[in-house]
Amino acid sequence: MDIEVFKISDGYRESISKGIAAMQYFKGRVKYGTGDREEQLQRLKNEIRSCDAILIGAGAGLSTSAGLSYSGERFDKYFFDFAKAFGIKDIYSGGFYPFPKKEIFWAWWSRHIYFNRYVNAPKSVYKDLLELVKDKDYFVITTNVDNQFQRAGFDKKRLFYTQGDYGLFQSINPDCKVTFDNKEWVEKALKAQGFIKDDNGVFIVPNDREIIMEIPTELIPKTPTGDDVTTNLRADDTFVEDGGWHNASSNYADFIRRHENLHILFLELGVGANTPVIIKYPFWQMTYDNKKAVYACLNYGEAFCPEKINDRSICIDGDICEILSQIKEK
């Protein structure tokens, strides 16, 4: 979709403005909500049931809880040859490796994309979350790029992927402001390396582990006009915010406006310290501004809130998958 003139709200930058303001305002000690763990679990369940709306903010910790880790067993299973040849230790660092030629570079990225974007998460955390919020007026803002919300059944119109999508390419030509679906290319690239499909149609490593780390030169991805491509991931100011991105940003802004004085639950899941100005800090600020709002932070080792909203905060430390399962059982 071409971007011409967007006369719609930019929820992304409006949110970041709130986050920057929060950085200045919420200084001092952090708190951990009120009540013990069981009380906070029950309170969160009650809030989900009684609130007018839920704004979900999701970071990398949510997908890690869902089993989409970038190291360990998954890395060893699908990238063992790259680890041996180049000394790469995990999927994340491999994305920055200076491979010696494009055929190897794109072999890596076909795997990087497929095994994070085009497969279902090993654990049920996304589906459990949907089960908890499906009957509520909800919206999701996420810095994740793995599309797991849609794979779990969340409404696409209620999702905003701020940092891009593994499933999209963009041209390296800065004048090209469109993105391109890459699933067909990814599957061709995997097949060219020797991956096979199992009975469920999912690519796997063959039993003999005979795969190669290159794709044919003619399979290097290009735009329809022949330009080189890159992934549609926000790394610098060349990131393409296409029409779909702007629509989602506008939907996010509209959701916030429609609920700014209502009983809204700001449900933060797995958001760390890499980009807190996108989700965490704006959630703090919007909770403070709306006295009917409640802030909930679920995270492993990083569940906390500012002192100024502690009385309206729920902070639960632990594995998000386990926490959501416990809430479902209550």
pLDDT tens per residue, range 78-87: 999 999 999 9
Instruction: Tell me, yes or no, whether 176 lies in a domain.
Output: no
- Residue 274 has what pLDDT? 86
Q: Same domain, yes or no, for 89 and 205?
A: yes
pLDDT tens per residue, range 91-141: 999 999 999 999 999 999 999 999 999 999 999 999 999 999 999 999 999
Instruction: Tell me, yes or no, whether 236 lies in a domain.
Output: no
Instruction: Tell me, yes or no, whether 21 lies in a domain.
Output: yes
pTM summary value: 0.94
Query: Mean pLDDT for the chain?
Result: 94
Q: Same domain, yes or no, for 127 and 248?
A: yes
Q: Same domain, yes or no, for 307 and 205?
A: no
- Residue 26 has what pLDDT? 86
N residues, the chain: 330
pLDDT tens per residue, range 17-56: 999 988 878 877 888 888 899 999 999 999 999 999 999 9
Q: Same domain, yes or no, for 60 and 195?
A: no
- Please report, for residues 135, 151, 212, 258, the alpha-carbon distance to residue 265 in angstroms, rounded to integers and kept in the order given: 14, 24, 48, 14
Angle value at C-alpha 269, between 268 and 272, nearest 5 degrees:
95
pLDDT tens per residue, range 173-231: 999 999 999 999 999 999 999 999 999 999 999 999 999 999 999 999 999 999 999 99
Q: Residue 195 is part of which domain span?
A: 73-119+186-220
CB atoms within 10 A of CB 296: 26
Q: Same domain, yes or no, for 31 and 85?
A: no
Instruction: Tell me, yes or no, whether 134 lies in a domain.
Output: yes
Q: Same domain, yes or no, for 210 and 256?
A: no
Q: Same domain, yes or no, for 102 and 192?
A: yes
Looking at the 3D structure of the chain, how many domains does it have?
Answer: 2
Which residues, in sequence order, are bridge partners of residue 306? 30
CATH number for the domain spanning 139: value is 3.40.50.1220
CA gap 328, 124 in Å, rounded: 12
Please answer whether residues 145 and 167 qualify as being in contact, where contact means their C-beta atoms are separated by less than 8 angstroms: no
